[in-house]
Amino acid sequence: MDEHKENIHGQEDNVKTSSKPSSRLCPAGESAPQVSPSQSKGDFSHPVYKEIALANGHINRMTKEELRIKLAELKLDTRGVKDVMKKRLKSHYKKQKLMQTAAEGGPTDTYYDYICVVDFEATCEEDNPSDFLHEIIEFPMVLINTHTLEIVDTFQEYVKPELNPQLSDFCVKLTGITQKMVEEADPFPVVLQRVVSWLQERELGTKYKYAILTDGSWDMSKFLNIQCRVSRIKYPPFAKKWINIRKSYGNFYKVPRTQTKLSTMLEKLGLTYEGRPHSGLDDSRNIARIAVRMLQDGCQLRVNERMHGGQLLSVPSSAPVEGAPPPHNPRSRD
C-alpha cells in the first residue's frame, strides 16, 4: 500500500519535534556501555573518531570502481549506487574501529535486540473521500534479529472490517485481499490480542529490547490510530514509538525524501522487490530486507517518531535511545 499511503497522507511529513528525554537501553545479555556525560551529548573527542574522519576523507576521493574493488576485498556487498557503496565502506570501517574501542571500554552503537516491521493493509477506495475511515484488514509483522542480521519470524492475520464490511473492487485489486478472506477473519481487537501473545511468546520488551519499524508515519499515526477509535479500544503503548525507515534511510544515505519510497530504496540498494506488491506481509518482508541492508551498512536504526495525545511527533536523534515497552492485551475505551 506504499504509493496509496503516499497519496492519502503525504501532508503528514511536517511533524512536531519532541525533546522529552527517555531512558537508555542496552542489548539483552550485555552490560550497559559506560558513556560519559560529554559523550552522551555528542562529544566526539575520543581519538577513534579522528581515525574514522581520516578514513572517510580517503573514501570520499575513491572512484566507483575503486569502491567496488575495496568492498570485494573486504567481502562486502558491491551492489548499489556510488553513494551507497561509499556509505557502506565508511560504516564498515567505523564499525570495526568502534568494536575495537568498545572492547577497550570505548563508545559502542548497539540499540535493540530485535526490530519488528509492520506494514498494514487497510480498506480504501480509488478516490478516498476526505472523511473516509480506513480500517485495517491485514496485520503483518516481520521480526529481525539485529545481532544475526536475519529475518527470524513472521506473523500475519487478516481482519474483518466493521464500518465498511464490503471491500471495494479497487481495494481487492490493490491488496489481493478478497471479500472471503475478511469475512472469515476476526475483528481487530481479537487479532490485536493474538499479536500481543505473539510478541509475549518471543519475550519482547521483557528479556529482549525491541522496536517497531514502519515504512512512513501512516501505519501508526493514521491506520492504527483510526482503527483503535473504530474498535473502541485504547491505542497500544508498545506501538506509540517507532522507527520510520524512510527518515532513517534519507538521513543515513543523504538522499531527498523523493528517493525514500519502498521501490526506490530497494533499487538504490541494488535489491529487487520479492513477492506481491501491496501484500502487507510481502511489503513487510521487503522493508525488513532494506532494514537489514542498512544495519549491514552500519546504520544505527533507532526510534524517530512517536504518538502523544493523538499527535504525531518527531523524536530527535539527540534523545536517549528507548525500546518498546512489554506488550499487553488491548484495553477498552469505555
Active site residue ranges: 121, 278
- Angstrom distances, CA of residue 14 to CA of 101, 118, 217, 260: 38, 22, 11, 16
| 313's grid cell | 511527533
| 289's grid cell | 530486507
Q: How many helices (H) does the chain have, and how many strands (E)?
A: 13, 9
Long-range contacts at 198-205 (CB < 8 A, ≥ 24 apart): 198/141, 198/155, 199/116, 199/238, 199/327, 200/326, 200/327, 202/114, 202/143, 202/153, 204/114, 204/116, 204/324, 204/326, 204/327, 205/238, 205/323, 205/324, 205/325, 205/326, 205/327
Distance CA 133, CA 177 (A): 18
